[in-house]
Amino acid sequence: MMENKRCSQCKHYFITWNQGTPYGCKLYGIMSRQEPKIAVKNAGSGDCQGFSPKKAPEAIRERWKEDLS
């Protein structure tokens, strides 16, 4: 159920430098004026099936600590 998920919380989401299409999805290979999940749905592909949450900042900090040790 993608309705409750925000693209900005997905690891595939990115912000582009293009003012005309500022939002992108690496998984679907798209850039859009809207959140990518909306562009995917409007293209007739249904709801996004590729949502994968970003790692929590705490997990990243723990990894950095291990790498520095």
How confident is the prediction along the chain (69 residues), in pLDDT tens digits per residue?
Answer: 445 788 988 999 999 999 999 999 999 999 999 999 999 888 887 888 889 988 767 766 677 666 665
Residue 68: predicted pLDDT:
63
Residue 22: predicted pLDDT:
95
Instruction: Determine the Cα–Cα distance for residues 6 and 65; give it in Å rounded to an integer.
Output: 29
Residue 61: predicted pLDDT:
66
Residue 55: predicted pLDDT:
76
pTM of the model: 0.71
Instruction: Determine the Cα–Cα distance for residues 22 and 16; give it in Å rounded to an integer.
Output: 5
Among candidate residues 56, 57, 35, the one with its CA nearest the CA of residue 47: 35
3 state SS of 9:
helix
